[in-house]
Amino acid sequence: MQKRQTSSRTSRQMSMRRRYARWAMLLLGLGVSGILAAAATVIGAYHYVSPSLPQAETIRDIPLQIPLRIFSRDGRLIEEVGERRRILVDYEDLPPFVVHAFVAAEDGRFFEHPGIDYQGIMRALLLLVKSGEISGGGSTITQQLARDYFLTREQLFTRKLREAFLAWQIEQAFSKEEIMALFLNKMFFGQRAYGVAAAAQVYYGKSLSDINIAEVATLAGVLPAPSEYNPVRSVANAGIRRRYVLNRMHDLDYINERQLEDALAYPLESQLHGTKNDLSAPYVAEMVRREMLRRYGEATYSAGYSVITTLDSRLQESANYAVRNGLLEFTRRRGYRGPIATVALEPETLATPYIEWPGELQRQLQDYSDPAGLSVAIVTALNEANNSVDIVLQDGTESMIAWHGISWARPYVDRETRGPAPETVADVLTTGDIIYVMPITVGGWALAQLPAVQSAVVSVDPLDGAITSLVGGLDFSLSKFNRATQSARQPGSSFKPFIYSAALKSGNTLATIVPDSPVVISSTALERLWRPVNYSGRFYGDQRVREAMVRSMNLASVRLLLNNTGIGNAVRHLSPFGFNDAALPRNGSLALGGGNASPLDMAQAYATFANGGYAVKPYVIDSIIGPTDKYLYRAEPFVVCPKCEPADEPEQPPRSEPQYPVHFPESDKIISVDEELLQEVYINRGGALAIDRLDPIYEQLFDDGTVTLEQMAPMGETYQPDATMEPEIFADVKLAERIISPHNAFLIQDAMRDVIRRGTGVRARVLGRTDLSGKTGTSNDRRDAWFAGFNSDIASVVWVGYDDDSTLGPREEGSRTALPIWIEFARRALDGVPNHRMDTPEGIVSVRISKTTGCPVDATTPFEDVMFEHFREDMVPECDVDEVVPDIFNTSDDSGNLF
């Protein structure tokens, strides 16, 4: 019995083993079949989608949309122009915690998987089984990169297949570091920000190297839904996403507990920031944008062009400061027009902090912009005890304005009239006034108002016409009209130096006598009897030409044009300066700047005086660089280069080779070098010269048979050829055309230096320089105020006026309104720059003349009537002199008879 039971048990065990073996074989077969089927499926799927897959390497050739970037000539960013803001960065430039934040947020196993993460795929499959829909989750960073470069966001199975295979291809073609850099440069972060560097600028106003862990966690949290998760759109959503990213960074040991707590406690900023420009020059940026659009069309905004302008950042900053300060000072002189607005403030509101004010009141205060560097504030209390007011700024900061910041505010009546000076703060302000304020140098704030008047400043390099600074108005955000280039206004007396230059060309001198007496002209062009007058209303009688310019005499200038020069001669002389027909009326008003010219026209013309007589053409684009960092354009301006001009000399007969003494420090010897060798050194600046080309004396200096450039450097300093000696060196130089003689330019410069020494520009003496020439200008009815000034390094022009061409007001002329702006510009622009003015050209002589007659004098002329004047040596006046011998012994009677 027992044996039968044992046998039965053994039989059942063997049967069970056979069944297990069959199941194992079946499962193994199914597993192998499954693997083979899966492999076949993958292979089949790959062959199915591969024809439509692009090559991963083509990512390198796909340009990212990069905005136009505009720079000053010293490399400072002026503006970015384009729909998409993007700043490309290399992986090496990424702070480690930036990479960690995006790995934690998007793909925790990024540095481990081959582009496809099976764990993510399993999660997506589970969601597919549960919901029956294809989910967007499970994509690695590499898959997201593939999708954003090559695919759409459609939730289709075939798209997911292509995405996976493309990700694998990308991983084979690029390193992990390259993939991360491509990803962080490509992705959209909302608010027109593409790439993490641009996002840091847009949301925080910082460069990527300056953001902290909390801020980068916010940026990393934005990617799944940029329009919903960015902090400007929703602080709450951004906060949730930031917390998730920070916790993931902590879980992955990228940050410690302390860093996590600090980052979670960091305030979440909700504010848009513009491009972090290094230099404010919006009017120039607009000029460049228009020109680029003309050249390259809509690709201007996305192809990644960079434009290097001719702007000098130091000069541009000087111009910005001068315009703002000058116009704010002008508007204080013209009276206070009142607050921006006035709102009712309840007593209980005033008793609470700003943060607890009603939201509507806060929004109302925030609605006002802060143009021209001014700030907006609301008056919360008048303090009669010390004549001050309490204010709250737009950011909630509480402050006050002392009486010295308010006392200027005489009420505005009209553009020519002001009311009485205020005596108390209540005469000016009331509680609830929304006002403009500005910081002051002694600390605190002063009452301000937005100027209604406008100004333009432009400076050019006299040697080639490069625009080194340009301001087209007070604030580009308020008015995009560029008054430096687009506004044609009457230049008034600032035009007179050009008339005087024409007069010199016509045979006059600075000593020519011209009557400053009434002029009445019946002119069909002027449609009335024209009676010009002097600013003072007086007549000064006979005046020398120099004195007429220094004191800006209108009547003498008109007579100089009409009687001594001729309108036709003047127009022909002035056209090469760059003036168009609108600036050159064919009547007597030409002498007083009765035409129309822009500030840039005037700066171009004054550059001719500054450079010694050459015509230059203003330009603002120095070079254009394409997206591959190749130069697409480089300016080739006409340049002033006297030594590049071959001398008009007769051909000289052959002469013996001159010898040039050259000191060689290596041997402490001085030797003589012939001109041919020096030319070789000057032209061939690379390599070495064989010893057989040299004088045998060099063998005593150098034993190895060669002379290096370093050894030849002293020769290069000794030999300075001009175009006459070496025309081939200067053959490609585009020479500016000489349009007036050096003598003419020198004499006008010298007379205009007197304008600053003792004339209408005397305020500029505060600069303490001896190289400045200048001229004030005021148009009819004081509608325009001008000052133009220059030395040999810079020519600059300032214009002030209203856009509606109305009067500036009493006593607002060039010397009071425009000149202070120019002085402030020059003070900063020329700080530390040595004096530089034109040398006296050959053919100019200095002669003692009579101040009264302009004639050369002898020893008998009273000392107080004697002065020195410059003349061309062939233009020294010859005056008729009575041949009377002085009676030094007083031997005649009253009738003149000798005793």
What are the catalytic residues? 106, 493
For residue 572, the one-letter residue type is R
Residue 880 CA: distances (Å) to CA of 74, 245, 865 = 60, 98, 18
Task: Evaluate whether 755 touches 774 at the Cβ level (below 8 Å).
Answer: yes
- Cβ neighbour number for residue 783 with a 10 Å cutoff: 18
3-class secondary-structure state, position 895: coil
What is the C-alpha to C-alpha distance for residues 243 and 254, in angstroms, rounded to an integer?
Answer: 14
Output the DSSP codes for 67-131: -EEEE-TTS-EEEEESSSEE----GGGS-HHHHHHHHHHH-TTTTTSSS--HHHHHHHHHHHHHH
Q: Name residue 71's beta-bridge partners.
A: 77, 308
Q: What is the DSSP string of 375-410?
A: EEEEEEEEETTTTEEEEEETTS-EEEE-GGGTTT-P
Distance CA 150, CA 662 (A): 67
Give the C-alpha separation, 247 to 104, whole Å.
Answer: 9
Query: Alpha-carbon distance 261 to 257, whole Å?
Result: 6
Whether residue 306 contacts residue 293, with contact meaning beta carbons closer than 8 Å, is answered with: no
Distance CA 586, CA 820 (A): 33
User: In degrees to the nearest 10, what's the CA dihedral of 833, 838, 839, 842?
Assistant: 170
822 and 798 in contact (C-beta within 8 Å)? yes
- Contact assessment for residue 411 and residue 425, using Cβ atoms and an 8 Å cutoff: no
Q: How many CA atoms lie within 13 A of 26 on its CB side?
A: 6
Give the separation between CA 487 and CA 472, rounded to whole angstroms.
9
Amino acid sitting at position 698: Y
Rg (CA), the chain: 40
Q: How far apart are CA 505 and CA 561, in angstroms?
A: 12
Task: Give the Å distances, CA to CA, from 739 to 430, 546, 573, 821.
Answer: 61, 22, 8, 30
> Burial, 741: exposed, middle or buried (Cβ in 10 Å; 0-12, 13-18, 19+)?
middle
Cα-Cα-Cα-Cα dihedral of 626, 629, 633, 638, to 10°?
150
CB 344 within 8 A of CB 360: no
For the four alpha carbons of 171, 174, 175 and 177, in that order, the dihedral sign comes to negative
Q: Which residues make Cβ contacts (< 8 Å) with residue 799, sequence separation at least 6?
A: 455, 456, 457, 483, 484, 487, 489, 599, 602, 784, 785, 786, 818
Six-digit token pair at 19?
């069944």
Note the helical H segments in 152-225: 157-173, 176-186, 196-204, 213-222
For 313, 318, 635, 641, the CA distances from 78, given in Å and listed in that order, are: 9, 15, 19, 31
Other beta carbons less than 10 A from residue 700's beta carbon: 11
- Tokens representing residue 197 in the block: 């560097």
Distances (CA, A) of 338 to 335, 398, 420, 449: 9, 21, 14, 8
d(CA 663, CA 714): 7
